[in-house]
């Protein structure tokens, strides 16, 4: 087997133009146009309107190359396009090979007879996705909350705009292009399953072989352990399908972040004919079991992820495509997101269904950092032509390929059918109130697809991982959607419904897969919007960065829950981050307190796709907002929580680890100057995987007289130092009677770091 990559330098142009310009593959037309100075960066200032023409045009990409002599000796040679975004015709040396209609699939064409030793020309002609979806919408309109017509095209739905991102649909080659040559035989598929029994683990390797010569073959398997030890096996490959069992001596289990280590094994499978290596596959594995426990209980039906037999409380966030300009994203940016999630105690990221399937590099990073992945299939917020055989055939090929591609990653925890299709059914019913029969036909098609066909296709390729029909869902089509008894929930009564942030405490779903509050980015990022003289919600500089209708008004609404509106916009931006961080903290701590009932929380959203005002905790430049810093405490595997219930204050230790924790906690009710009104000390033993009520304190008499002048403080002592100090206030900040803190600040350089020390004589 030989391989000749065709990435790197290409040429591109608008279809029909004479001039060719240099391009980089993988990439996108926006990036290439920016690189040659034909368009400004659409993320900056008001440039978005200046690049709207790009997606309306057709584009051509050209690569000329000489054939690698080693490849020329192979019996079969195929052109492999791993990712074309999206509508493309492919030509080699003037001959049309075929077309692509799905950005989530790879395409292969036999090309041996078309290749020359030198002077080969590979041309890929892309059609405008905007023109296509408009045509399809005229042909057959479908209910949608965003982007009419987009349901007909297998392209990330958010490429056409969302309530956090621009309409900036990328076009181009977003994954690698290569020539692959084979002789005699090759792997058609390689599936590695695991059997865990009584502390022992065996790998079950299932190989399918495609052969076109009747020669003796052998299968060699090499296993590299996490400590560098190597084992090797070899068996004859006489049949088209081979199964072999590989025992693992002294197996080391893979654990999510916060529960243990992430040891990884590397398995190499090689197909040989005598002394000639014909093909090879390499898979990185983590040894672990995974299940989604849904059992009847006092509150309905549980929704708990269980890893290696241990119930795991899920702490994490939702991920959107990291760059609206290009489906291809550099490894450094992906690692920054995954590393940032792990650094604050997250153990799961949800790859949201309005994007797509992540790149292999993303899942490899999640494997390494112990981040579980909830993987939506890319269906979101619209109804699809799931009653059209051609569309179903395209999706079936997409599903099979991506499930095979990702199924060996230990981080991959769940396949989920869609985002919010069931939740939005009342909207579909209203939109199509004059077409009830057609809507009924679509309802039947969607129920069949997400509850019968899709899970069947997933089980055929990956029978060892749970499937869930949609998010949110109860597990029964259009029944009890987004309720608290069973399934998962998206809680948007806060923000979209304008409920106060304390209303999170009114809900205890079995699993919270979306909730959140918006904030502005920091000053440094705001400068990308435009000069500071333009920073005002009344100016287009700020308004055009808000994609959610009424979003800026909601920002101010929630800000005024706690703070007066400041005159300085930079101060306002900072306060929106504080409000966001505190709202999410209180919600997460509420659900963690009820860990026996709620299985986890994923806030909306981890990242941005451009430079924006949004729900993110990491902005479009990768800068952490206050929410992300706050997550270090409320997502810590061992955390401290303070809950107020009328005249009572409860002190709790939240222990998501496998070890019991023991130590001292000191608590006090005190004035802002530090004068204690009540105080106590508790010896705490926090069992593993439990919430422990440490003490409940009656403070009603003090609240009635001094509620705006006091705080409840908990300070960890010996054995519990990692918990950190916690302070709980009893009134919004705008209503507090704060004394002058007489703040003092000191800066001290320590090598490459700067230490900042703050001192105050009162609460500040």
- Choose among 434, 381, 375: nearest CA to 148: 381
- Of 295, 355, 296, the closest CA to residue 320 belongs to 355
- State the DSSP string of 702-758: HHHHHTTTEEEEEEE-TT-GGG--EEEESS-GGG--PPP---EEEEEEETTEEEEEE
320, 288, 264: which is closest to 413 by C-alpha? 288
Alpha helices by DSSP H, listed for 462-568, are: 523-526, 540-543, 551-562
Cis? peptide before 86, omega within 30° of 0: yes
- Residue 334: phi, psi to the nearest 5? -60, -45
In the chain, the largest separation of any two C-alpha atoms, in whole Å, equals 92
What residues have CB less than 8 Å from 340, skipping those under 6 apart? 606, 618, 622, 624, 628
Question: Which ranges of 77-198 does DSSP label H, i.e. alpha helix?
Answer: 129-139
CA distance 168 to 547: 13
Residue entry with tokens 């490429």: 159
Q: Which two tokens stand for residue 227?
A: 């400590």
Residue whose pair of structure tokens reads 């020539």 in the numeric block: 179
Strand partners, 173: 84
CB neighbour class for 478 (10 Å; exposed up to 12, middle 13-18, buried from 19): middle
> Residue 332, exposed/middle/buried by CB under 10 A (0-12, 13-18, 19+)?
exposed
Q: Active site residue: 45, 420, 461, 514, which one?
A: 420
**Does residue 718 have an active-site annotation?**
no
**Active-site residue set:** 420
């Amino acid at each position: 087997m030989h391989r000749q990559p065709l990435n790197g330098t290409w040429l591109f142009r608008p279809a029909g133009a004479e001039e060719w310009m240099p391009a980089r593959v993988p990439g996108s037309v926006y990036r290439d146009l920016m690189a040659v100075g034909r368009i400004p960066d659409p993320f900056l200032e008001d440039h978005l309107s200046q690049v709207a023409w790009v997606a309306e045009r057709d584009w051509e990409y050209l690569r000329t190359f000489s054939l690698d002599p080693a490849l020329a000796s192979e019996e079969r040679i195929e052109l492999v396009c791993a990712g074309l975004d999206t509508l493309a015709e492919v030509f080699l040396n003037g001959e049309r090979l075929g077309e692509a209609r799905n950005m989530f699939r790879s395409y292969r064409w036999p090309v041996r007879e078309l290749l020359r030793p030198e002077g080969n020309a590979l041309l890929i002609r892309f059609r405008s996705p905007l023109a296509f979806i408009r045509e399809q919408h005229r042909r057959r309109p479908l209910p949608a909350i965003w982007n009419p017509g987009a349901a007909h095209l297998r392209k990330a739905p958010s490429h056409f705009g969302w309530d956090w991102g621009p309409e900036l649909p990328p076009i181009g080659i977003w994954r690698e292009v290569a020539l692959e040559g084979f002789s005699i035989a090759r792997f058609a598929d390689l599936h590695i399953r695991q059997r865990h029994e009584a502390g022992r683990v065996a790998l079950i390797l299932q190989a399918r072989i495609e052969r076109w010569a009747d020669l003796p073959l052998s299968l060699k398997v090499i296993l590299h352990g996490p400590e560098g030890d190597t084992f090797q096996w070899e068996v004859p490959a006489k049949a088209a399908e081979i199964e072999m069992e590989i025992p693992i001596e002294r197996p080391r289990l893979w654990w999510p972040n916060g529960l243990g280590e992430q040891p990884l094994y590397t398995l190499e499978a090689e197909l040989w004919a005598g002394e000639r290596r014909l093909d090879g596959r390499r898979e990185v594995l983590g040894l672990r079991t995974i299940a989604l426990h849904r059992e009847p209980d006092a509150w309905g039906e549980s929704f708990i992820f269980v890893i290696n037999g241990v119930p795991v409380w899920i702490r994490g966030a939702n991920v959107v495509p990291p760059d609206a300009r290009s489906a291809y994203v550099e490894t450094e940016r992906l690692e920054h997101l995954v590393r940032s999630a792990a650094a604050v105690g997250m153990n799961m990221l949800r790859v949201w269904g309005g994007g797509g399937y992540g790149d292999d590099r993303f899942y490899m990073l999640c494997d390494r950092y112990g981040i579980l992945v909830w993987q939506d299939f890319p269906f979101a917020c619209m109804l699809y032509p799931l009653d059209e055989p051609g569309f179903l055939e395209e999706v079936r090929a997409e599903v099979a390929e991506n499930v095979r591609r990702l199924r060996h990653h230990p981080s991959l925890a769940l396949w989920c059918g869609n985002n919010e299709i069931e939740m939005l059914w009342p909207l579909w019913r209203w939109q199509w109130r004059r077409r009830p029969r057609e809507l009924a036909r679509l309802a039947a098609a969607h129920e069949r697809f997400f509850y019968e066909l899709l899970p069947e296709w997933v089980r055929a390729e990956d029978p060892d991982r749970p499937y869930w029909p949609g998010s949110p869902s109860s597990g029964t089509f259009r029944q009890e959607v987004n309720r608290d008894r069973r399934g998962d929930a998206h809680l948007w009564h806060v923000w979209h419904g304008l409920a106060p942030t304390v209303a999170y405490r009114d809900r205890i779903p079995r699993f919270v897969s979306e909730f959140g509050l918006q904030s502005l980015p920091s000053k440094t990022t705001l400068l990308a919007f435009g000069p500071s003289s333009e920073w005002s919600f009344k100016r287009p500089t700020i308004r055009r960065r808000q994609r959610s209708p009424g979003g800026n008004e909601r920002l101010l609404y929630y800000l005024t829950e706690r703070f007066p509106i400041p005159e300085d916009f930079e101060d306002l931006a900072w306060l929106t981050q504080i409000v966001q961080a505190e709202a999410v903290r209180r919600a997460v701590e509420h659900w963690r307190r009820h860990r026996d009932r709620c299985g986890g929380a994923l806030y909306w959203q981890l990242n941005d796709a451009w430079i924006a005002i949004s729900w993110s905790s990491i902005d479009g430049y990768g800068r952490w907002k206050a929410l992300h810093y706050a997550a270090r405490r409320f997502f810590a595997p061992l955390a401290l929580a303070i809950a107020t219930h009328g005249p009572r204050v409860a002190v709790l230790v939240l222990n998501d680890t496998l070890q019991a924790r023991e130590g001292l906690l000191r608590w006090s009710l005190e004035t802002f100057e530090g004068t204690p009104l009540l105080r106590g000390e508790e010896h705490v033993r926090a069992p593993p995987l439990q919430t422990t009520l440490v003490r409940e304190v009656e403070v009603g008499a003090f609240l009635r007289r001094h509620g705006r002048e006091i705080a409840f403080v908990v300070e960890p002592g010996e054995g519990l130092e990692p918990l950190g100090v916690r302070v709980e206030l009893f009134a919004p900040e705008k209503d507090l009677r704060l004394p002058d803190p007489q703040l003092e600040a000191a800066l001290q350089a320590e090598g490459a770091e700067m230490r900042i020390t703050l001192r105050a004589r009162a609460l500040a």
